[in-house]
Amino acid sequence: MQPHSTRRGLGAGLATVLLLAGVAAFAGGSTAVADPNTTTAVSAGPAGYTQAVPTGQPSQYDLPLERCANGVNYPISGANPVLSEPLTTQFASNVGLSEYVTFSGNQYYGDWQFVFTNTSSEVLSTDCAVLVFRAPSGSDNHGYTSTQQYGHPQQDYLEVPRGDGTSFYIARLDFHDVPLAQRQIVPGQSFSYSLGGIPNPAITLTQIRDSLKFTADLDLTANQALVEHYGTNRLTN
């Protein structure tokens, strides 16, 4: 996985996220004040679903477990289709998840973290999952982490500027050379996706949260149609 896209903002991991995610209460029993750098959590997706289980072992690249281990760029001509699609204004997912977003930094640079919890009754594989969301333009740092042991995934990734200081971001998580268990999230456990860049008042933290659409790979097709549709690029390892 490319080093630059996973170093900044992920060092603190979810411990930092959890510290940011509470509320600040004044001494003496006064009213609690919500942390302005953390949204409330929202939920989407079914509690029960069927996700196909891939066969194969780590590094067996011709078998389904490693279906997203290797990738290429998918250039498209003309305007990116995401620019003409309806805006997502409410968190959407094809599997049961809760999501909140936290920000750490200042007006010059910071890190946003999308924190997801598996609210379903199923063990979720995040391998080949696709995230589409809006955030300030010009991110230079993006990556995945989890509360469970995990293998760092590569990414098929694309930023599509909207011309208003915000961009669409498309990312597919591409695990490789690790067991299935290191690609999975059991019920009640969490994972996150981080984005580093310069804040922009054109979009609020709540709007960033609500713009996200999460598509798990349920049928071992690797969400290939989505990455080809949006014309993502495979980031170097």
Q: Where exactly are the structural domains of the chain?
A: 1-21+41-46+85-162+181-237
Quick one: pLDDT at residue 34? Answer: 64
Give the angle subtended at the CA of 96 by the CAs of 94 and 99, to the nearest 5°: 100
Q: Report pLDDT for 12.
A: 40
Pull the structure tokens for residue 157. 């990734």
Collapsing DSSP states into helix, strand and coil, what is residue 226?
A: helix
Is residue 56 a contact partner of residue 63, using CB atoms and an 8 Å limit? Answer: yes
Structure tokens that stand for 26 in this block: 């004044």
Instruction: Round to whole Å and give the CA distance between 142 and 150.
Output: 16
Q: What is the pLDDT of residue 23?
A: 34
Selection from 131, 38, 49 nearest residue 82 by Cα = 131
Instruction: Report yes or no: 134 and 162 within 8 Å, Cβ to Cβ.
Output: yes
Chain position carrying tokens 């281990």: 69
User: Which pLDDT value is given to residue 237?
Assistant: 53
Query: How much is the pLDDT for 29?
Result: 44
pLDDT for position 165? 97
pLDDT at position 189 is: 96
**Half-sphere exposure of residue 6: CA atoms within 13 angstroms, side-chain side:** 17
The amino acid that residue 81 corresponds to is: P
Distances 121 to 47, 48, 117, 124, 133 between C-alpha atoms, Å: 6, 6, 12, 9, 25
Q: Give me the pLDDT at residue 36, please.
A: 84
Which residues lie below 8 Å from residue 103, measured CB to CB, with a gap of 6+? 37, 38, 110, 111, 112, 113, 199, 205
d(CA 14, CA 33) in angstroms, rounded, equals 22
**pTM for this prediction:** 0.85
Distance of CA 136 to the CA centre of its chain: 15
When comparing pLDDT for 27 and 35, which is higher?
Answer: 35
143 vs 3, more confident: 143
List the one residue out of 54, 29, 17 whose CA is nearest residue 178. 54
What backbone phi and psi angles, to 5 degrees, belong to 84? -105, 0
Does position 18 have pLDDT exceeding 90, yes or no? no
User: Tens of pLDDT along 92-142?
Assistant: 999 999 999 999 999 999 999 999 999 999 999 999 999 999 999 999 998
Band of residue 35 on the pLDDT scale cut at 50, 70, 90: confident
pLDDT reading at 167 higher than 80: yes
- Higher per-residue confidence, 171 vs 235: 171
Q: What is the pLDDT of residue 30?
A: 43
**DSSP code, position 210:** H
Mean pLDDT of the chain: 87
* Residue 223's pLDDT band (cuts 50, 70, 90): very high
